[in-house]
Structure 1
């Protein structure tokens, strides 16, 4: 016979408790093993966690490309020698047009729609 909602919720709660207990037991053992390996091989924290404390720099997406070398530039910061004193439009990287469903509505379109909605009330 199928269980009713109350029985299913009780079974789910019991299963969630078992999962939490198993996670705690296994994570404790995993951490013990990590400590053992770190001590055994003398790893430093920088070796174990090489990216901790390093900020990821957002370099931005390349906007210009040198057709001769393939070098790129985002358009921010000091311009590279290959684009200095030249028309930057000649080096623009073609950006794909977003599909109609991917474009967010423009504020003007939203304002116009809001105005139409107010007028129809």
Structure 2
């Protein structure tokens, strides 16, 4: 017996719904099992995922970069990183270099 295109599409849609429902049921079961084990053994996120640092414990260090250029008339400085300030943009930078 040959099925029509529309019949096959309907079967695929019904199958996709059944797959999604089965996946949700299995995920719920797995999560419940994991929570039970975590509670039973008093596990922490670090115990389960040792390679990951918690966001609260991460301290990002910011290092200051020494200025490379100075505008003699205003005293403003620039590190040479990022967008150039207006006082040096498009000019020869050699006269502004901090020795």
Query: When the two structures are superposed, what TM-score results if normalisation uses the length of structure 2?
Result: 0.51
Counterpart CA distance in 1 for 2:4 and 2:23 is 28
- Extract unaligned runs of 5+ from structure 2: 55-99
Using CA pairs below 8 Å that are at least 6 residues apart, which structure has the higher relative contact order?
Answer: 2
Tell which structure's C-alpha radius of gyration is larger.
2
- Extract unaligned runs of 5+ from structure 1: 55-121
Counterpart CA distance in 2 for 1:18 and 1:3 is 20
2:47 equivalent to 1:47: yes
Q: Over aligned residues, Cα RMSD in angstroms?
A: 1.4
Misfit runs of 4+, over 4 Å: none
Query: When the two structures are superposed, what TM-score results if normalisation uses the length of structure 1?
Result: 0.42
- Closer, same or farther: CA 53–2 of 1 in aligned 2, 3 Å: farther
**How many matched pairs?**
54
2:8 equivalent to 1:8: yes
